[in-house]
Amino acid sequence: MAQGAILVVGSLNMDQVVRVPHMPVVGETLLGAGSLKLIPGGKGANQAVAMARLGGQVAMAGRVGRDPFGERLLGALKSEQVDASLMVTDPREASGVAFIFLSPDGDNAIIVAAGANMQVGVDEEQFAHIVEAMRQASALVLQLEIPIETVKRLTKAAAEMDLPVILNLAPAQPLPRTTLSQVSVLILNETEASILSGQRVESVDDARIVAAVLQGYGIETVVITLGAHGALLVTTDDAGKKQSIYQAAPKVAVVDTTAAGDCFVGALTVALTEGQPPEDALHFAVHASALKVTKFGAQSGLPTKEEVLASYHS
Ligand code: RIB
């Protein structure tokens, strides 16, 4: 892995996308529109590809199965210049898949069959390679589609070597306070923030209150994404002064919200790792994810850096 690369440890899924007229209810058979679409996805891989398209130097560690989906998922990483030398092909488990129902207004419902993703870090040999690579990385990016135990162990190892951890708490799951206190940047949406804090998050003001509570766990920077309403970032600067920065989202025609959060995580990480001030990084991330929702598919819809910068003036 190249010195200074951003290391993503996370999931890869083959997304199986069906357009539906509305979300099905129990016992209902729905006729979807058109054919099934297979698109490379998975929160970890989406974030890695987002960063690569946005100008980051990225390596990814994860697991796929010894199957055609696995080959395609690995191929998708490599074609985006993501270093895949820490990827492992699992001899027993199938590649992860995600079943995605996409509604006409671009919203989705997702079910993941994690497969090989749930072996990430379980294999001690791969775990040791990841920790070794962390010594050369500029940041470690994690989500929660791999075993929680792996997330806890990697966060602890990163804290011991002073490596910043960016954690995207998706899908939402409880984490011990010790792990949270070792995270540098916590990124979560309204629902995830509500689950973690036990408090309602329905407005920017709610987000401000909850972000401050989460910062109290010892996290330097907390970012709560608010969908079409933008995002809020709360941080403490070098002088120990607390800053709360809100960025509204531009209005866009929504096609597909899948991976909008992943695009946000990727963009914010690249900008912060480049040393951009938090307000510029937040502006970049909100505009990147707004562009994502105008395009279909997870990795297929992620924007480039040039597209994001051009969108500032449109
Ligand atoms: O965040 C979007 C992703 O969630 C999809 O690509 C799907 O694979 C699930 O992991």
CATH code of the domain containing 150: 3.40.1190.20
Nearest in space to 289 (alpha carbons), one of 248, 233, 243:
248
Look-up of token digits 């492992």: 88
Domain membership flag for residue 37:
no
Residue 193 near residue 213 (C-beta atoms within 8 A): no
Residue 108 near residue 301 (C-beta atoms within 8 A): no
Tell me how far the alpha carbon of residue 63 lies from the centroid of ligand 1, in angstroms. Answer: 15
Domain that holds residue 129: 44-92+117-311
Q: Considering its fold, how many domains does the chain have in total?
A: 1
Max Cα distance, the chain (Å): 58
Nearest atom of ligand 1 to the alpha carbon of 97: 8
Look-up of token digits 């051009």: 310
Pocket of ligand 1 (CB under 6 A): 11, 13, 15, 41-43, 46, 98, 110, 112, 145, 258-259, 261-262, 298
Tell me how far the alpha carbon of residue 238 lies from the centroid of ligand 1, in angstroms. Answer: 35
Instruction: State how far the Cα of 213 lies from the Cα of 123, in Å rounded to an integer.
Output: 36
What are the pLDDT digits (tens) for 63-110? 999 999 999 999 999 999 999 999 999 999 999 999 999 999 999 999
pLDDT band of residue 219 (cuts 50, 70, 90) is very high
Domain membership flag for residue 21:
no
Distances in Å between the Cα of 36 and the Cα atoms of 15, 20, 83, 122, 231 are 10, 11, 29, 33, 33
Any idea which residues carry the catalytic annotation?
A: 262
What are the pLDDT digits (tens) for 136-190? 999 999 999 999 999 999 999 999 999 999 999 999 999 999 999 999 999 999 9
CA triplet 63, 165, 13: central angle to 5 degrees?
25
Domain membership flag for residue 30:
no
Domain membership flag for residue 139:
yes
Domain membership flag for residue 297:
yes
Percent of the chain with pLDDT over 90: 97
Three-state secondary-structure class, residue 14: strand
Decide if pLDDT at 314 tops 80.
Answer: no
Tell me, yes or no, if the pTM score tops 0.95. yes
pLDDT band of residue 239 (cuts 50, 70, 90) is confident
